[in-house]
Amino acid sequence: MKQPNPLTGYKVDKSTLINLEKGKIPPQATDLEEVVLGAMMIDKKGVDEVIDILSPDAFYKEAHKFIFESIFKLFENSEPIDLLTVSSQLKKDQKLDVIGGDFYLISLTQRVSSSAHIEFHARIILQKFIQRSLIKISNEIIEEAYDETKDVFDLLDTAEAKLYEVTQGNVKKSTESAQSLVIQAKKKIEEISNKEGMSGIASGFDKLDKLTSGWQPSDLVIVAARPGMGKTAFTLTMARNIAVNTNTPVAFFSLEMSSVQLITRLISSETGLSSEKLRTGKLEKHEWEQLNVKVKTLEKAPLFIDDTPSLSIFDLRAKARRLASQYGIKMIMIDYLQLMTAGGSQKGGNREQEISMISRNLKALAKELNVPVIALSQLSRAVETRGGSKRPLLSDLRESGAIEQDADIVSFIYRPEYYKIDEWDDEERSPTAGQGEFIVAKHRNGGLENIRLKFLGHLGKFDNLDDFDTPFGEEYHSKMNEAANDNTFTPDSFISPSDAFDAPEDDGVPF
């Protein structure tokens, strides 16, 4: 039976009407979009409240996108925002006729009398946008899931990455204008000037922070060394400095040592007590007090340790996204790169190709989460066979030249004392005892430098060379570091270096 169509007057099948009633349209709130835009044009307070909540893409109606873009441009240029200025900006962008002319703008301002509840309305618009984004992503995932040529692990990684973007409220933009980027850069420069030049995350090593201005977001930093140089000690010291001193959340992925061993190192470093005493619990009364007081700083530190062995790059990215979402981590450390696996469809091929793929993905992860990623790396044995100075070179990076290519900073840790070299190869010929060198061999956005650091072997930590803070004498440190290298000295009263830490055999020394 035919029924008249209320819109056209023509008769249509009843079944057609039923199908239309069951049809779906994307989530939207165009009435609220009109109210929000109208309020922004009549009240500056309304602009301030929602300008950082919404984006042009959040609006369902295309005309509303263009109007918001014009308002945003006026806001960026610190120009007044009202009916006339928005109309003028739309005319300049050749979008005034597209949105319906001045008549439509006037109708928007007549919808409201104030900007009351504008933030609440903007949140609803944002929710509708997120719903539309989820529908779009879900459709893409469904389509890719039917594709038999797609690897299931790659599909999972892609799906999780897209959902993470929505969770963070930053669905990727395809392009950004030069004007927008210049404004962002200027704001960042202003922020840096207020922080005395420290634009990134301070490592706690003064000369290194001066060179790098802190570890920068989205940078991949490689810290490479031969076993026994103190790679883990260096990164643990940094993790402690960042988490304790600045209360910045840090994720530490340890593929070699257990989380208990790592935290024992940190406790020993923080309290000055040997790990042997910590393992056996044979502490004097004053040592218990020392432990209970000093360990509180570590308890409160936002440091998250994952000791999953043979971690794949796929699992690492998934874990890092969750940590970023739940705890807002600002730095990722990995100990160490060569122990990672490719996972997913990347299995197979030689080890060099696998390491290349891992380093590319680490750089991609740094950009995706906008945090610095510090990855430890082994060096080839060429360092050991070289005569004279054993200072590492870029060519010594093990298994892949892609590491050097992908990294923003490539650095090395070098302790000549380990090789029985008693003096530095400089004009002063100063002693190497209890010292290490942090070598910045590649720096994409800055200079290169060899930075001397104090190495406190018995505590498993590095410190600034000039002002390290420790209750023990210099002669004692020298003897302890000597013991850490050849295991010949055992002090009766304090720490046995050979038992100081439960380090892996591959490191050669317990640090």
Instruction: With a cut of 60, say whether residue 498 has pLDDT above it.
Output: no
Least confident of 3-17, 108-122, 258-272, 353-367: 3-17
Q: Among the ranges 119-128, 253-262, 464-473, which has the highest mean pLDDT value?
A: 119-128
Q: Which amino acid is at 286?
A: H
Instruction: With a cut of 50, say whether residue 474 has pLDDT above it.
Output: no
Instruction: With a cut of 50, say whether residue 358 has pLDDT above it.
Output: yes
- Answer yes or no: are the C-beta atoms of 238 and 227 closer than 8 Å: no
pLDDT for 135-158, tens place per residue? 888 888 888 888 888 878 778 878
Q: In degrees rounded to 5, what are phi and psi of residue 443?
A: -145, 100
Residue with tokens 């210099």: 474
Angle between helix 62-76 and 178-194 (nearest 10)? 40
Asked whether the bond before 476 is cis by omega within 30 degrees of 0, the reply is no
pLDDT for 301-354, tens place per residue? 888 988 888 888 878 888 888 888 888 899 999 988 888 887 654 555 577 788
Least confident of 36-45, 145-154, 270-279, 488-497: 488-497
Alpha carbon distances (Å) from 287 to 247, 291, 419, 476: 26, 6, 35, 20
Helical ranges in 80-169 per DSSP H: 83-92, 96-99, 101-109, 118-145, 152-167
- Three-state secondary-structure class, residue 130: helix
Residue among 462, 449, 448, 443 at smallest CA distance from 220? 443
Q: Which amino acid is at 21?
A: E
Q: How confident is the model at residue 448 (pLDDT cuts 50, 70, 90)?
A: confident
**Residue 490: per-residue pLDDT:** 39
Give CATH superfamily name and number for 197-464: P-loop containing nucleotide triphosphate hydrolases (3.40.50.300)
Query: Would you give the distance in Å from CA 294 to the centre of its chain?
Result: 29
Residues 378-382: contacts with CB within 8 Å, 24+ apart? Answer: 378/224, 378/225, 378/226, 378/227, 378/336, 378/337, 378/338, 379/224, 379/225, 379/226, 379/412
Cα-Cα end-to-end distance for the chain: 86
Segments of the chain assigned to CATH 1.10.860.10: 21-169
**Residue 172: per-residue pLDDT:** 53
Q: Among the ranges 297-301, 355-359, 371-375, which has the highest mean pLDDT value?
A: 371-375
pLDDT for 12-35, tens place per residue? 454 444 454 556 788 889 999 999
- Answer yes or no: are the C-beta atoms of 470 and 494 closer than 8 Å: no
Q: What is the chain's length?
A: 511
The rounded distance, in Å, linking the Cα atoms of 269 and 91 is 65
Tokens of 35: 């109210």
Instruction: With a cut of 60, say whether residue 367 has pLDDT above it.
Output: yes
Q: How confident is the model at residue 480 (pLDDT cuts 50, 70, 90)?
A: very low
Least confident of 258-267, 268-277, 295-304: 268-277
Q: Which amino acid is at 46?
A: G
**Residue 192: per-residue pLDDT:** 66
479 by Cβ neighbours in 10 Å (0-12 / 13-18 / 19+) ranks as buried
**Residue 374: per-residue pLDDT:** 92
Read off the pTM. Answer: 0.64
Which residues are paired to 379 by β-bridges? 397
Least confident of 1-5, 43-47, 78-82: 1-5
* Topology (CATH level 3) of domain 21-169: DNAb Helicase; Chain A (1.10.860)
- Answer yes or no: are the C-beta atoms of 400 and 379 closer than 8 Å: no
Catalytic residue among 33, 49, 256, 417: 256
Instruction: Tell which wins on pLDDT, 277 or 461.
Output: 461
CA geometry: angle 221, 222, 227, nearest 5 deg: 150
Instruction: With a cut of 80, say whether residue 170 has pLDDT above it.
Output: no
**Residue 252: per-residue pLDDT:** 92
Segments of the chain assigned to CATH 3.40.50.300: 197-464
Q: In degrees rounded to 5, what are phi and psi of residue 394?
A: -60, -30
Instruction: With a cut of 90, say whether residue 373 has pLDDT above it.
Output: yes
Instruction: Tell which wins on pLDDT, 296 or 376.
Output: 376
pLDDT for 387-444, tens place per residue? 777 888 888 776 666 788 888 999 998 888 888 888 887 777 788 888 888 989 889 8
Sheet (strand 220-225) strand order: 303-306, 250-254, 331-335, 373-378, 220-225, 409-414, 435-443, 449-456, 461-464
Alpha carbon distances (Å) from 222 to 171, 340, 507: 29, 14, 18
Q: Which amino acid is at 180?
A: S
427 catalytic? Reply is: no
Q: How many C-beta atoms surround the C-beta of residue 10 within 10 A?
A: 8
What mean pLDDT do residues 272-297 have?
Answer: 73
